[in-house]
Amino acid sequence: MIHIGHGRDPARPTLVPREEMTVRLIHEGKVKRVFSDPESDERLIVEFTDAITAGDGAKREVLKGKGEVACETTEFLFSYLEGKGIATHLIRRLEGTKLLCKKVSIFPIECVCRNVAAGSFARRYGLETGRPLSRPLVEFFLKDDELHDPMITMDAIVRLGMATQEELEFMRRVTLDVNYYLSELFRQVGLRLVDFKLEFGRTENGEILVADEISGDTMRVWDENRSSLDKDLFREDEGDVVQAYKRLLERIREANPEQVPIREETLLVHVMPKSGIKNPPGEVARKALVRLGYDEIVDVRMGKVFEIKVNTPVSPRLLARVEEMNRRLLANPIAENTRVRLE
Ligand code: UDP
């Protein structure tokens, strides 16, 4: 087959036989390989291998069929999330173990969301496995096997330049959204989402997308008898992992995504006068407060906060629309700064 490729002069496309378009191995991880897409610099091919690891790679095996079921589960769940308005890097599944994805650079951070105490959380705080948490929580871990993926605070991530505060708030909120949509889907078919790990990547134009994988390898899921359908079977040598991953996928395929209601989200848009710009309402408040005896006050600036509720998850598209709202109506870009808070 002949494809249009680019010769030396980008203005004049030349014909390049497909066989000559090489697929380059870009990255080889513990269980996945990433290849260039010969047809586009903006896409990558992610291959799920049959390798399975635990304990930061200390325990490793090859289980026939694991790559395919992990790939299929990721395709299914990423497509489901996309259908709910959550942006992922998935374009489409190519064949058994390969996904065609948007090219992103992955943040060196794992976002873990928990509904129930288990794994490292239960060990760290001496809790009984299975203790439900009053609300879901998000934890961050540094992706570094040599350091054994230590937990990392939001401040440390920002100070070390791995992500900005805004990017982290975005990832945290999307992780909670993903938790809601997965938990509700699984609940329909009697499954309980205990915890899971998400990774995010940034595209060249700064969009942050859910990336990597969601499968039995990256979640804990219990059935009605509290049997695991996930990698705990491998961690604890407790049964046929590939069969369990297949059962997990079969069961979630039985759920009806349309029956999962869209959740309302709240965004706070803070609008503040730029420094150096006069702020008469703040000045009036300052004078009045000083008159009342609060003489420690040096300056008061008064801005506005808009609490905006939307019927779509937080996504790069929504953030772009909020920026547009700011420019068009909520703020005066010449005199005011805006900041979207997603806490
Ligand atoms: N997880 C993952 N990759 C990692 C670490 C954790 O996919 O490198 C997933 C894990 O499968 C579980 C959740 O994140 O669903 C929480 O893992 P935990 O911190 O409890 O660590 P573990 O005890 O699994 O090492």
Residue in this structure with the two tokens 């990256």, named with its chain if needed: 218
Distance (Å) from CA 209 to ligand 1 centroid: 20
Among 195, 231, 245, name the best residue to mutate to test ligand 1's pocket (greatest count of ligand atoms within 8 A of Cβ): 195
Q: Each residue of 264-320: pLDDT tens digit?
A: 999 999 999 998 899 999 999 999 999 999 999 999 999 999 999 999 999 999 999
* Nearest CA owner, ligand 1 atom 7: 218
Phi, psi dihedrals of residue 73, rounded to the nearest 5°: -65, -40
Output the pLDDT for position 17. Answer: 52
* Helix (H), strand (E) counts: the chain: 8, 18
- The number of CA neighbours under 13 Å toward the Cβ of 41 is 3
> Would you say 230 and 244 are in contact if contact means Cβ atoms under 8 Å apart?
yes
Token pair recorded at residue 308: 């905006």
Provide the residue type at 63 as one letter: L
Q: What percent of the chain has pLDDT over 90?
A: 91
Residue in this structure with the two tokens 């794992």, named with its chain if needed: 110
Alpha-carbon distance of 162 to 100, in angstroms, equals 26
User: Residue 184's CB: how many other CB atoms inside 10 A?
Assistant: 17
Which domains does the chain show, CATH number per domain?
25-102 (3.30.200.20), 105-259 (3.30.470.20), 265-341 (3.30.1280.10)
Pocket of ligand 1 (CB under 6 A): 110, 112, 118-121, 149, 195-197, 218-220, 231
Distance (Å) from CA 198 to ligand 1 centroid: 10
Output the pLDDT for position 322. Answer: 96
Q: Each residue of 63-73: pLDDT tens digit?
A: 999 999 999 99
Alpha-carbon distance of 327 to 330, in angstroms, equals 7
Q: Each residue of 134-173: pLDDT tens digit?
A: 999 999 999 999 999 999 999 999 999 999 999 999 999 9
**Does an H or E element contain 276, and which?**
none
Residue in this structure with the two tokens 């930061």, named with its chain if needed: 56
Residue 197 CA to its chain's centroid (Å): 9
Residue in this structure with the two tokens 């938990």, named with its chain if needed: 183
> Would you say 177 and 314 are in contact if contact means Cβ atoms under 8 Å apart?
yes
